[in-house]
Structure 1
Amino acid sequence: MSELSAADKLDYVKSKIGEYVDFPKKGIVFRDIFGALTDSKACVYLRDLLVKHIRTVHPDVELIVGLDSRGFLFNLLLATELGVGCAPIRKKGKLAGEVVAVEYQLEYGSDTFELQRAAIKPGQKVVIVDDLLATGGSLLAATALVRKLGGVVLESLVVIELVALDGRKKLDCDVHSLIKY
């Protein structure tokens, strides 16, 4: 049996992403990664695609940072496959020890992200991972946190990008998305 191409793997993953109209409110089409994560083949293909991308583009990565909460589904997996460490960025009040914080804007208000001060060493090369890029506020806050601790953001890596929301334009780092809507 031959190995599927990256394009075929991506098509398969995309076919498993759920679409919910008018969720969480009227006028929004919600793209749900969980449909792909409940399918074993889609999980393997998604892992393969993300790992191959990082190995090809950022072979010198030293740390994978995952955003609260769906980014956590990927950062440990990627770190394990790549043989590097991982760290979480969490919502305010969820991490123990000394943290640094950044407030960021959402479509409907603001929130605060925190990162443990000891998670990143100055000069450490970091890839930030999340499931979705929408308006860009959370990824912008994540890059600010990593840089606040002296880390070097190589890239923000997302599974899904909602192109019409222009979140990429807010970011001051390289961005790679597997699937664009």
Structure 2
Amino acid sequence: MLDDFPLKQLIHVHRDFPRKGYNTRDLSRLLSEPRALQTITDTFAHRYVDAPLTHLVALKGRGTMFAAVLAYRLNLPLILIRDLGEEPGEVLHERAPSSSGDRTLEMRQGLLDESSCVLLFDDLLSSGASLIAATTLIRRQQARVHEVATLIDLPDHGGSQRLQAMDVSTYALMAFEGD
């Protein structure tokens, strides 16, 4: 459970960044305030400490730092899903179509198998395109996604519903309606 620490107040929205019509949520203060990082990590750790997880998989980006701390706390291996061309070796690819521009994700092959139970982590859930592509990459290796965990959900963008339609549970620490 989140305590009274005001996480939402630490998140600043940069309107029309990086381009007009697009808003970026700045998570910098969540990392620069030790109590915020502790609250975030403790909340996620409490939720997943008894879950049958074998791996934490994170999309490379702003959430990676939170994912690394959480993987450490849960004593889980951390696997990154990256953008096309960033991962060496044998990889699997999956396209993530989006209104803001398609993205192709890749994941190292052979790090997961049918015995793997994954917590999939990202900083923000909006349309869900990247997390749907990540789920597909995980499932292509016969692994199971226990849940998608994010710091922020933008429920008006429909990503949670899209993932739930794929039989993937979602959990977010905070939701921002109307964005």
- Do the structures match in fold with TM over 0.5? yes
- 1:84 deviates by 1.5
- 1:121 deviates by 2.1
Q: Distance in 1 between matches of 2:103 and 2:21?
A: 23
Match of 2:40 in 1: 46
Say whether residues 1:130 and 2:122 are aligned partners. Answer: yes
Say whether residues 1:111 and 2:103 are aligned partners. Answer: yes
Opposite residue 63 of structure 1, the aligned amino acid is: H
Match of 1:162 in 2: 154
Opposite residue 51 of structure 1, the aligned amino acid is: A
- 1:53 deviates by 1.6
Q: What TM-score, normalized by structure 1, do the two folds share?
A: 0.89
Q: What TM-score, normalized by structure 2, do the two folds share?
A: 0.90
**Equivalent residue of 2:19, what SS?**
coil
Identity across the alignment (%): 29
Q: CA-to-partner distance for each residue in 1:95-119, whole Å, 9 max, x for gaps? A: 1111111111122221111111122
**Equivalent residue of 1:115, what SS?**
strand
Q: Distance in 1 between matches of 2:138 and 2:39?
A: 28
Say whether residues 1:93 and 2:85 are aligned partners. Answer: yes
Q: CA-to-partner distance for each residue in 1:17-36, whole Å, 9 max, x for gaps? A: 11222223334443221221
Divergent runs of 4+, >6 A:
none
User: In terms of mean alpha carbon deviation, does 30-39 or 128-137 score higher?
Assistant: 30-39
**Equivalent residue of 2:69, what SS?**
helix
Q: Are the counterparts in 2 of residues 75 and 87 from structure 1 also a CA contact under 8 Å?
A: no
Q: Are the counterparts in 2 of residues 107 and 135 from structure 1 also a CA contact under 8 Å?
A: no
Say whether residues 1:176 and 2:171 are aligned partners. Answer: yes
**Equivalent residue of 1:118, what SS?**
coil
Say whether residues 1:140 and 2:136 are aligned partners. Answer: no
Match of 1:80 in 2: 72
Structure 2 unmatched runs, 5+:
none
**Equivalent residue of 1:94, what SS?**
coil
User: In terms of mean alpha carbon deviation, does 65-74 or 95-104 score higher?
Assistant: 65-74
Matches within 5 A, 1:1-16: 6-9=2-5, 12-16=6-10
User: Residues 23 and 169 (structure 1 numbering): CA distance in 2 closer, same or farther, change over 3 Å?
Assistant: same
Q: Distance in 2 between matches of 1:35 and 1:83?
A: 26
Opposite residue 35 of structure 1, the aligned amino acid is: R
Q: Distance in 1 between matches of 2:125 and 2:79?
A: 19
**Equivalent residue of 2:88, what SS?**
coil
Q: Distance in 2 between matches of 1:7 and 1:161?
A: 18
Match of 1:67 in 2: 59
User: In terms of mean alpha carbon deviation, does 117-126 or 153-162 score higher?
Assistant: 117-126
